[in-house]
Amino acid sequence: MKLLRMATALIAAAVFGQAVAADEIVIGQVAPLSGVLADTGKDMVLGVKVYFDMVNDRGGVHGKHIRHVVKDDGYKVDETVRLTREAIDKDNVLALIGFAGTGNVGELLKQKVLEQANIALVAPYTGAEGLRAPFNPYIFHIRAGYADEAEGIVNQLVLLNMKRIAVMYQDDPFGRAGLDGVKAAMQKRGLEVVATGTYEKNTDNVGEAVKNIAKVSPQAVVMISVNKSTAAFSKQIRQATAISQLVNISVVNPKEIVRLIGADAARGIGIAQVMPYPYSQTLAIVKEYQQAMKKYAPKADLSYTSFEEFVGAKVLVEGLKRSGSAPTREKVIQALETLNAYDVGGFTVNFSPTNRIGSRFVEITVIGKDGRLLR
């Protein structure tokens, strides 16, 4: 009978896509492993992989091994859609995790890719409000939104008596979402953004942005940008005018910025964070992350990005556990909804049938003189 059930499961899976073994759970991840966001994408995949490796070594979920299917979209919207459909239709994934890009994820919603498959996407690497409101039942966010980050950044700058604030942003849904967040935080305090500058996605052509912002000599610039463009703008704006403070939202990798422009040029850049500090074992989840990285990726550096997706993988696995020994895509969604005040180890995620925003945690860090990130 057991052999008959296994054969039936394999035949059924093959009808709808790639055969899935009866003793495995397939999870899909589409991430930018090439292009301007490659370093971020690799860390995203690493965090998920390390957690899944740890779970598999402990016997899997209800005795089933997790198979992690990874596809490279190069941070290109069309590729994100194509590869997500491929993961759903051909790889027969049970759930999705850790995609990057506001426009990329937004296109999945526009084309109803998640809705049509009735599948959960956990821990996307974006904080755009347009992916959070109106309510979408298929995306489970574990990070604070860009509006939350913008509020934290502007609050910190104003406390330091920096009220002449400009914004440099990527000219796409991601950048515009961040800009809207900064404007809202400024208006709340009776202030206005003094200047803006944009650059084209997938480039670091920031010359015009530097020119537009430098001519008003702001006290601070909030950057809504990715690694290469952030590095290029930071170096050029400091050469063009005196800036008291540069600060970016959480999507950048400080290590990559330091590599691109050097520790001296990167020193003092502030970066908002939506996860606890991953470099000190003050929380149980950080200790668990560091131990897992040491065992499964001993040559890799610790980072906020891999830590965030490690947390996302833990959240998803808890949902898999709660969905029972015969999980379906619908059961996974229903199980994730029960993670109300779920403590992953000093960091709490809150989901419910009417809430998909798991956290609003934000704090500001700064790149120090030796290139290390300081709290």
Q: Is the pLDDT of residue 86 over 50?
A: yes
Output DSSP code: residue 195.
Answer: -
**Would you state the pLDDT for residue 15?**
41
Residues 6+ apart with CB under 8 A from 29: 44, 45, 48, 68, 69, 70, 71, 96, 97, 98, 99
133 and 151 housed in the same domain: no
Whether 163 maps to a domain, the answer reads yes
Q: How many domains does the chain have?
A: 2
Q: What is the mean pLDDT of residues 187-206?
A: 95
Q: How far is CA 368 from CA 55, 102, 245, in A?
A: 35, 29, 13
Q: How confident is the model at residue 64 (pLDDT cuts 50, 70, 90)?
A: very high
- Exposed, middle or buried by CB within 10 Å (0-12, 13-18, 19+), for 267? middle
Q: Is the pLDDT of residue 200 over 90?
A: yes
**Would you state the pLDDT for residue 202?**
87
**Would you state the pLDDT for residue 251?**
86
84 and 172 housed in the same domain: no
**Cβ neighbours of 138 (radius 10 Å):** 20
**Would you state the pLDDT for residue 22?**
78
**Would you state the pLDDT for residue 20?**
66
Q: Check if the beta carbon of residue 317 is closer than 8 Å to that of residue 304.
A: no
Calculate Rg over the CA atoms of the chain: 21
Torsion angle, alpha carbons of 65, 71, 75, 79, to 10: -130
Q: What are phi and psi of 216, to 5 degrees?
A: -105, 0
Q: Could you give the percent of the chain with pLDDT greater than 70?
A: 95
Under DSSP, is residue 27 helix (H, G, I), strand (E, B) or coil?
Answer: strand
198 and 155 housed in the same domain: yes
177 and 132 housed in the same domain: no
Q: What is the mean pLDDT of residues 349-370?
A: 95
94 and 130 housed in the same domain: yes
Residues 6+ apart with CB under 8 A from 11: none
261 and 187 housed in the same domain: yes
26 and 98 housed in the same domain: yes
Query: Using one digit for the tens of pLDDT, what is the confidence trace for 141-163?
Result: 999 998 999 999 999 999 999 99
Q: What is the mean pLDDT of residues 175-179?
A: 92
336 and 189 housed in the same domain: no
The DSSP code sequence of 51-67 is: HHHHHHHTT-BTTBEEE
Establish how many alpha carbons lie within 13 A of residue 271's alpha carbon, considering only the half-sphere containing its beta carbon.
33
Q: What is the mean pLDDT of residues 40-63?
A: 97
Q: Check if the beta carbon of residue 321 is closer than 8 Å to that of residue 278.
A: no
CATH number, position 317? 3.40.50.2300
Say how far apart CA 312 and CA 310 lie, in whole Å.
Answer: 5
**Would you state the pLDDT for residue 6?**
46
267 and 297 housed in the same domain: no
| Listed residues 257, 273, 289: the one ending a domain | 273
**Would you state the pLDDT for residue 238?**
94
**Would you state the pLDDT for residue 19?**
56
62 and 208 housed in the same domain: no
Query: Using one digit for the tens of pLDDT, what is the confidence trace for 266-276?
Result: 999 999 999 99
The kind and range of the H/E element at 166 are strand 165-170
| Listed residues 250, 273, 296: the one ending a domain | 273
Whether 51 maps to a domain, the answer reads yes
Whether 354 maps to a domain, the answer reads no
Nearest to 26 by CA among 113, 112, 90, 98: 90
Whether 365 maps to a domain, the answer reads no
Q: What's the domain range around 38? A: 2-145+280-349
130 and 159 housed in the same domain: no
Under DSSP, is residue 141 helix (H, G, I), strand (E, B) or coil?
Answer: strand
91 and 154 housed in the same domain: no
Whether 367 maps to a domain, the answer reads no
Query: Using one digit for the tens of pLDDT, what is the confidence trace for 295-304?
Result: 999 999 999 9
| Listed residues 273, 306, 338: the one ending a domain | 273
pLDDT, mean over the chain: 92
Say how far apart CA 375 and CA 368 lie, in whole Å.
Answer: 10
CA 302: distance to chain centroid?
Answer: 16
The two beta strands, 270-273 and 245-248, are parallel
**Cβ neighbours of 286 (radius 10 Å):** 23
Whether 227 maps to a domain, the answer reads yes
Q: Is the pLDDT of residue 294 over 70?
A: yes
Strand partners, 61: 64
Q: Is the pLDDT of residue 7 over 60?
A: no
Whether 329 maps to a domain, the answer reads yes
Q: What is the mean pLDDT of residues 350-361?
A: 97
Whether 254 maps to a domain, the answer reads yes
Nearest to 231 by CA among 200, 201, 213, 252: 252
